[in-house]
């Protein structure tokens, strides 16, 4: 025999139907009514559990902060450009705006951080390059069309070459910029 549902657990159904022993169809016994009700409840619970466990990774991040704006597309956006690949990152600050493709990106997965995505934003022969790195957090979206608000950091690094480093034992200097924005799984152009 199936015991009556606990009103503390199944309170909504009991409250809405006054009794958990209501027959499921005319001529059905109270036992058949409870059994049908439990089957429906199990099916609904399984469906909700499946919906909660289906997650999607973002295919675009749009971040900004302190005069810097970055759009990052982990799988690329738009059609491939011959010799460069697909658009992966767009960087803009108060002095410049640049687009970076597959071949321009350096991506490293760091278990404790997420991913570090780096690009060279200034190339020089005599003093050294300047790179920009963004820490891309792991984000799981519960619905493919949802977005999530993210907070992360952008790191601008000045790399001094030997001549420019004379008198400066440290060859890299860092400027960290807090960035915030959205991580989204949405439609991108092919």
Banded pLDDT at 27 (limits 50, 70, 90): low
- Which carries the bigger pLDDT value, residue 1 or residue 83? 83
- Predicted confidence band of residue 190 (pLDDT cuts 50, 70, 90): confident
Over residues 136-186, the pLDDT tens digits come to: 999 998 776 689 999 999 999 999 886 655 677 788 999 999 999 999 998
Q: Does 86 score more than 80 pLDDT? A: yes
pLDDT digits (tens, 9 = 90+) for 102-121: 999 999 999 999 999 999 99
Q: What residues form DSSP beta bridges with 89?
A: 72, 100
Q: What angle do CA 121, 127, 129 make, to 5 degrees?
A: 20
Residue 97 in tokens: 């705006």
pLDDT of residue 42: 73
- Which positions ≥6 away from 167 have C-beta within 8 Å? none
Tell me the C-alpha distance between 187 and 177, whole Å: 29
DSSP string spanning 33-85?
HHHHHHHHHHHHHHHHHHHHH--B--SEEEEEETTEEEEEEEEEEEEEETTTE
Among 141, 142, 146, 153, smallest CA distance to 180 is for: 153
State the pLDDT confidence band at 52, using cuts at 50, 70 and 90.
low
Mean pLDDT of the residues in the chain: 81
Q: Is 31 helix (H, G, I), strand (E, B) or coil?
A: helix
**How is the beta sheet containing 147-159 ordered, strand by strand?**
97-101, 85-92, 68-81, 60-65, 172-184, 147-159, 130-136, 114-122, 106-110
Q: Please give the model's pTM, rounded to 2 decimal places.
A: 0.69
pLDDT of 75 strictly over 80: yes
Domain spans in the chain, listed from the N-terminal domain onward:
11-53, 60-184
Concatenated DSSP letters of 78-107: EEEETTTEEEEEEEE-SS-EEEEEGGG-EE
- The pLDDT, as a whole number, for residue 11 is 43
């Amino acid at each position: 025999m199936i015991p009556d549902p606990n009103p503390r657990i199944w309170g909504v159904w009991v409250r809405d139907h006054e009794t958990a022993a209501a027959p499921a169809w005319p001529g059905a016994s109270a036992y058949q009514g409870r059994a049908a009700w439990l089957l429906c409840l199990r099916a609904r619970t399984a469906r909700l559990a499946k919906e909660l466990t289906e997650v999607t990774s973002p295919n675009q991040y749009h971040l900004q902060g302190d005069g810097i704006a970055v759009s990052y597309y982990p799988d690329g956006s738009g059609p491939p450009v011959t010799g460069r690949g697909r658009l992966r990152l767009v960087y803009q600050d108060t002095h410049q705006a640049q687009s970076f493709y597959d071949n321009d990106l350096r991506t490293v997965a760091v278990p404790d951080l997420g991913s570090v995505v780096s690009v060279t934003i200034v190339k020089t022969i005599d003093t050294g390059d300047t790179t920009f790195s963004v820490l891309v957090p792991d984000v799981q979206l519960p619905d493919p069309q949802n977005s999530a608000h993210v907070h992360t950091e952008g790191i601008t690094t000045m790399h001094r070459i030997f001549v420019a480093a004379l008198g400066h034992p440290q060859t890299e200097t860092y400027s960290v910029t807090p960035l915030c924005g959205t991580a989204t799984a949405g439609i991108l152009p092919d």
